[in-house]
C-alpha cells in the first residue's frame, strides 16, 4: 500500500544510519519523498565523502515516487539547515511526516501519522503529531493517543497551517518574555526558569538549534501535540560524536518501538493529559531538580541536549 502523505527526510553525514531509516521509509512507499541535506564542514576531513555517501542512499528509491531534493553545498548547521529545510517542505506540500536520519520508525508510525493528519487537518487546536512516547509503559487510558504540551520531534508530522507560526529568530520572545504565561503554562518555578533561560539563549543566538523555536511557536499558540500511548520511533543516533544525543547510556537511547493497533481509537475529548505531562517533566527533564537562577545556563542546556 502506497503512503499518500509526503515524507520529509533530513540527512547529513551518517550513511549507515540513513540507510536504516531509508529502509523503513521504503517499506511505507510514500508517493512523495522530500529530502533535505546539509553540506560538509570545511574543517572536517572526510566529511564531504560521507555527505556524498549519505545522499547516494536516496538513489535507491525503487517504488513509484516523486523525489524532491534540497541539498546545501555549504554547511548551514543545525539551526539554519533544519529550519530552512522545513520552510521548503511546507512551501511545497500542505502536510508531511518528518524523519531525521537517526529516527527509526515502526511501520505503523506511518499510518498513525497519516490517519491523524487527516482527522485533525482542520482542527487548529492540534499543531503536532509525534511518534514518541516517554511514559515508560504507563498508559492512563485505552485510547491510541493522548494530548500533550510537549512536541517531541523524533519522528513527527504537521501541517503548513501550523508551521506558519514558526520563527527561527523567535522575534516574539522579546515581546512576551516579561509576562507570566510560562508560569500559567508550566506551573513550576524551576521549569519556568529553565525554559526562560533556554528561549533567551536561542533568541540571542547562543545555541545552534531549531527545535526550541518550534516548542515556543506551539506554546504561544496554545497548541496541542498528539503523542501515541506506545512508542513508535526509536532514536538510534546516540553516540559521542553526535551533535546533541551523545550519551549512549541515556534511558531514551534506542528506546524500543512497538506496533500500534489499527484502526486507531480516538479519545472522546480534546483535553491535555496533565498527569502525563507532569510525568514527562519529572522523568524526562531531571535537570529541573537542580537548575537554579545562579547556575550557568549552558550547563543546563548541555544536560538537556545530552538527554534528549
In angstroms, the CA 208 to CA 299 distance is 15
Question: SS3 string of the chain?
Answer: CCECCCEEEEECCCHHHHHHHHHHHHHHCECEEEEEECCCCCCCCCHHHHHHHHHHHHHHCCCCCEEEEEECCCCCHHHHHHHHHHHHHHHHCCEEEEEECCEEECCCHHHHHHHHHHHCCCCCCEEEEECCCCCCCCCCCCCCEEEECCCCCCCEEEEHHHHCCCCCCCCCHHHHCCCCHHHHHHCCHHHHHHHHHHHHHHHCCCCCCCHHHHHHHHHHCCCEEEEECCCCEEECCCCCCCCCCCCCCCCCCCCCCCCCCCCCCCCCCCCECHHHHHHHHHHCCHHHHCCCCCCCHHHHHHHHHHHC
Q: How high is the pLDDT of residue 297?
A: 47
Residue 39 has pLDDT above 80, yes or no: yes
In angstroms, the CA 185 to CA 202 distance is 20
Domains of the chain: 1-101 (3.40.50), 122-308 (no CATH)
Q: What is the mean pLDDT of the chain?
A: 89
Residue 56 has pLDDT above 60, yes or no: yes
Q: How high is the pLDDT of residue 140?
A: 85
User: pLDDT tens-digit profile of 296-305?
Assistant: 445 444 544 4
Pairing of strands 224-228, 145-148: antiparallel
User: pLDDT tens-digit profile of 223-263?
Assistant: 999 999 999 999 998 554 545 444 445 565 568 889 999 99
Show Cβ contacts of residue 263 under 8 Å, excluding neighbours closer than 6 positions: 115
In angstroms, the CA 216 to CA 168 distance is 10
In angstroms, the CA 148 to CA 5 distance is 23
294: confidence class by pLDDT, cuts 50, 70, 90: very low
In angstroms, the CA 40 to CA 77 distance is 10
User: pLDDT tens-digit profile of 140-170?
Assistant: 899 999 999 999 999 999 999 999 999 999 9
Length of the chain: 308
Q: How high is the pLDDT of residue 278?
A: 87
What is the mean pLDDT of the segment spanning 75-98? 98
Q: ∠ at Cα 246 (243, 249), nearest 5°? A: 160
Q: How high is the pLDDT of residue 290?
A: 42
What is the mean pLDDT of the segment spanning 216-227? 97
Closest CA to 291 of 198, 212, 194: 194
194: confidence class by pLDDT, cuts 50, 70, 90: confident
Q: How high is the pLDDT of residue 307?
A: 42
Residue 119 has pLDDT above 80, yes or no: yes
Q: How high is the pLDDT of residue 254?
A: 64
Class of residue 264 by CB neighbours under 10 A (exposed 0-12, middle 13-18, buried 19+): middle
Percentage, residues of the chain above pLDDT 90? 75
26: confidence class by pLDDT, cuts 50, 70, 90: very high
What is the mean pLDDT of the segment spanning 100-114? 97
Amino acid at each position: 500500500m502506497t503512503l499518500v502523505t509526503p515524507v520529509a527526510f533530513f540527512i547529513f553525514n551518517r550513511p549507515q544510519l540513513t540507510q536504516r531509516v531509508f529502509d523503513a521509509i521504503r517499506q511505507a512507499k510514500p508517493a512523495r519523498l522530500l529530502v533535505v541535506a546539509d553540506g560538509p564542514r570545511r574543517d572536517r576531513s572526510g566529511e564531504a565523502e560521507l555527505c556524498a555517501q549519505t545522499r547516494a542512499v536516496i538513489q535507491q528509491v525503487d517504488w513509484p515516487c516523486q523525489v524532491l531534493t534540497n541539498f546545501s553545498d555549504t554547511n548551514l548547521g543545525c539551526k539554519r539547515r533544519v529550519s530552512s529545510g522545513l520552510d521548503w517542505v511546507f512551501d511545497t506540500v500542505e502536510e508531511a511526516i518528518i524523519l531525521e536520519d537517526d529516527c527509526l520508525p515502526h511501520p505503523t508510525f506511518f499510518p498513525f501519522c497519516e490517519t491523524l493528519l487527516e482527522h485533525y487537518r482542520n482542527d487548529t487546536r492540534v499543531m503536532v503529531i509525534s511518534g514518541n512516547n516517554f511514559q515508560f509503559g504507563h498508559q492512563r487510558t485505552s485510547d491510541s493517543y493522548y494530548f500533550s504540551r510537549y512536541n517531541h520531534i523524533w519522528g513527527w508530522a504537521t501541517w503548513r497551517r501550523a508551521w506558519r507560526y514558526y520563527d527561527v529568530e523567535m522575534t516574539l520572545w522579546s515581546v512576551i518574555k516579561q509576562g507570566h504565561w510560562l508560569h500559567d503554562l508550566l506551573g513550576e518555578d524551576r521549569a519556568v526558569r529553565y525554559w526562560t533561560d533556554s528561549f533567551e539563549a536561542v533568541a540571542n543566538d547562543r545555541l545552534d538549534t531549531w527545535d526550541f523555536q518550534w516548542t515556543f511557536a506551539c506554546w504561544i499558540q496554545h497548541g496541542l501535540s498528539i503523542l501515541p500511548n506506545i512508542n513508535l520511533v526509536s532514536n538510534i543516533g546516540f553516540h559521542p560524536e553526535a551533535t546533541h544525543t551523545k550519551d549512549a547510556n541515556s534511558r531514551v537511547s534506542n528506546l524500543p518501538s512497538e506496533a500500534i493497533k489499527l484502526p486507531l481509537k480516538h479519545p472522546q475529548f480534546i483535553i491535555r493529559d496533565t498527569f502525563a505531562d507532569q510525568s514527562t517533566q519529572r522523568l524526562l527533564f531531571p535537570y529541573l531538580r537542580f537548575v537554579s537562577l545562579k547556575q550557568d545556563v549552558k550547563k543546563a542546556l548541555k544536560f538537556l541536549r545530552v538527554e534528549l
